[in-house]
Amino acid sequence: MAGKNLLVFVALTIVSSVLVLPTARGNSEGDALSALRRSLSDPDNVLQSWDPNLVNPCYETAAKFACRVQPSIEEKGFQDCNTIIFVYARKYLSVFTFQLLLNIHCMVLGMGNGDLGNSNLSGHLVPELGKLEHLQYLELYKNNIQGSIPTELGNLKSLISLDLYNNNISGKIPPSLGNLKSLVFLRLNDNQLNGPIPRALSSISTLKVVDVSNNNLCGTIPTTGPFEHIPLNNFENNPRLEGPELQGLASYDTNCS
């Protein structure tokens, strides 16, 4: 019993830190999601559940989704789905865990779908994405996203995974991505990116996976920090990329612009 109570206490603490957000922050996140939705063509309506008018669009959308898939919650007298996580959890840890998992989608750009990879989306990324300060997973792989990667993505300090591979993204990799000190996965392969691999990425100690293959990058491949352990085939099929840099012997920006 003591272990169960501890789990509930810890979970409530986590949820409180995520859900109890100032109205201004919630509106800012709603504006960011609304801006992204306007910038994307969505023929399969995977974004139809997004409601930017909610104070906390991530959590309240999760609560509505929970009531749809678990109608017994409302049958038991809990009409306000936005308070269920705080009330119902006290007696039903399994439902609480279910709600907690649902709410985690506040940190995953997908709003209940898990992610937006392979969703037949087209359009471009918007600078407003940088306002989603709690976002941990930005999953937009295997779509038809065009344009450049916004510099503002460097503001996503909680981001763990940035998966934009298999799109038609062009332009340079923003050096601001070096500010993502929680980043573990960076997969930008199979796009139209050019320019150098930012040396700022070498300072991300958490970075485990980098794949920028099948682009048009130039310069040399970093060899310090996390790049010491990235396999060379994750950089292949960049015709202008000159191979690993030799510290003190090779100029990084040779013929690279």
Give yes or no: residues 194 and 246 share one domain. yes
Give yes or no: residues 10 and 92 share one domain. yes
Count of domains forming the chain: 2
Q: Which two tokens stand for residue 43?
A: 């023929």
Q: How many other CB atoms sit within 10 Å of the CB of residue 99?
A: 25
Q: Which domain holds residue 176?
A: 147-257
Q: Which two tokens stand for residue 238?
A: 């960049």
The SS3 call for residue 242 is strand
Which residues have C-beta within 8 Å of that of residue 138, sequence separation ≥ 6? 109, 129, 153, 156, 159, 161, 162, 163, 164
- Specify the CATH number for the domain of residue 242: 3.80.10.10
The pLDDT value given to residue 84: 39
Q: Which residue has the higher pLDDT, 172 or 6?
A: 172
Query: Is there a domain that residue 131 lies in?
Result: no
CB distance 100 to 85 below 8 Å: yes
Query: Is there a domain that residue 142 lies in?
Result: no
Query: Is there a domain that residue 116 lies in?
Result: no
Decide which of 71, 105, 139 is a domain's last residue: 105
pLDDT in tens, 104-124: 444 455 443 347 899 999 999
Give yes or no: residues 156 and 251 share one domain. yes
Query: Is there a domain that residue 161 lies in?
Result: yes
Give yes or no: residues 100 and 152 share one domain. no
199 — pLDDT class (breaks 50, 70, 90): very high
Give yes or no: residues 155 and 250 share one domain. yes
Give yes or no: residues 99 and 157 share one domain. no
Classify residue 175 by its DSSP letter: G
| Among 26-35, 134-143, 166-175, 197-206, the least confident range | 26-35
Query: Is there a domain that residue 141 lies in?
Result: no
Query: Is there a domain that residue 36 lies in?
Result: yes
Residue 78 has pLDDT above 60, yes or no: no
Report the chain's terminal Cα–Cα distance, integer Å: 63
Give yes or no: residues 223 and 154 share one domain. yes
- Biggest alpha carbon–alpha carbon distance for the chain: 72
Query: Is there a domain that residue 121 lies in?
Result: no
Give yes or no: residues 97 and 5 share one domain. yes
* Residue-averaged pLDDT of the chain: 74
Give yes or no: residues 159 and 246 share one domain. yes
